[in-house]
Amino acid sequence: MIHANADYLKLPGSYLFSTIGKKVAAFSAANPDKKIIRLGIGDVTQPLCPAVIDAIHKATDEMAHAETFRGYTPDLGYEFLRNTIADKVYKKLGADIASDEIFISDGAKSDSGNIQEIFATATKVAVCDPVYPVYVDTNVMAGRTGNYDEATGLWSNVVYMPCTAENGYARELPAADKTPDLIYLCFPNNPTGATITKAQLQDWVDYANKNGAVIVYDAAYEAYIREDDVPHSIYECQGARTCAIEIRSFSKNAGFTGTRLGFTVVPHDLKDADGVEIRSLWARRHGTKFNGAPYIIQRAGEAVYSEEGQRQTNEQIAYYMNNAKYIMEGLKEAGYTVSGGVNAPYIWLKTPDKMTSWEFFDFLLNEANVVGTPGSGFGPSGEHHFRLTAFGSFENTVEAIDRIKKL
């Protein structure tokens, strides 16, 4: 007789953004005359840039002719895109990454969730707190997180690294008695918008190499970095090739949230305690479970790194960062304590009057008709905090902040 996967049954409630969607839908149905402004989910609003659109049209036309038609994509992704990434992204940073160490995917979310599959079930996982929920949820599904404590919001077999105002929202190295095997880091951070310096990241690389751990480095927001001492890639650090996997996305730097494209870097030098090459496992998993991002979309990704593509996408990033500046300044004027928004499109604020995150969510939705994301949805240390995104239109951003200032 068939039985459900018991580990899936351990997941508390629905996925964070699904819960938000249901609440907003219910409010909208009950208040059809209200204009709701969404600054919650990190979805972009600006259209794909002209260089990308041109590449999509050209590739689409190629699919109409037998001579240029493309079917299944290569396991790792097309060589033209992998070579472009190796040259235009990593060589530019002085990082030694070969094209066969780059795996093209349909986005960072799927890779950040799937990467845990190639590690043993007994692997001890460490995450920041607050954290992008995909890291924890997928490890719950894999059966390696232990039991959930509803009172604390913590899993018994997960090492939590609190990121609070007291430590500048930067992760501190785990305590000596809580050495993890797999460490998830995300910089610029989602949800707090915090960053660390290259020297601080080097400390993490040294720690991982010393303890035989692997870092999964989520660099989805690196294009928003504005300060010189903040690294764009973990491979800028010495020794990272032997301890780090890097995940990247085209969603936030080029607006591909609905187009879907990303990549993961797994160096040949990364091996487990028995000398097994981790890259070979990811290649096996990739080839078995994934048929590749479409040719048309990979050509679009290649266009992002063209001279025109870079100029146009940088203009879009500047547009969103101008939104972030407006949100930051407006909230400060309204008396809120805020952080982030400098090297990231996320603004992290403390809720007023000791409201819980969900109480503030309801307050903001009901009184200002503005949607954000409750900090507690990212982990216990996110309680009494709230995330707003800079991905809306400038006009809606201005209206949303003006509404909040009037509360």
The predicted-structure confidence for 256-292, as pLDDT tens digits, reads as follows 999 999 999 999 999 999 999 999 999 999 999 999 9
Separation of alpha carbons 195 and 89, rounded Å: 20
Q: Considering just the CA atoms, what is the radius of gyration of the chain in Å? A: 21
Concatenate the DSSP letters of all residues of 112-144 into one string.
Answer: HHHGGGGS-TTPPEEEEES--HHHHHHHHHTT-
The confidence score (pLDDT) of residue 113 equals 97
- pLDDT (mean) for 137-165: 94
The predicted-structure confidence for 353-363, as pLDDT tens digits, reads as follows 999 999 999 99
- Sequence ranges of the domains in the chain: 11-47+308-405, 54-306
The confidence score (pLDDT) of residue 167 equals 87
Which class is domain 11-47+308-405?
alpha beta
- Look up residue 63 and give its two tokens: 């699919």
The residue that leads in pLDDT, 366 or 172, is: 366
Fold of 54-306: Aspartate Aminotransferase; domain 2 (3.40.640)
Separation of alpha carbons 259 and 47, rounded Å: 11
The predicted-structure confidence for 4-47, as pLDDT tens digits, reads as follows 999 999 998 777 888 898 999 999 999 999 999 999 988 899 99
Separation of alpha carbons 233 and 236, rounded Å: 6
- Look up residue 398 and give its two tokens: 């201005």
The predicted-structure confidence for 334-355, as pLDDT tens digits, reads as follows 999 999 999 999 999 999 999 9
Enter the pTM of the model: 0.96
- Are domains 11-47+308-405 and 54-306 of this chain identical in fold? no
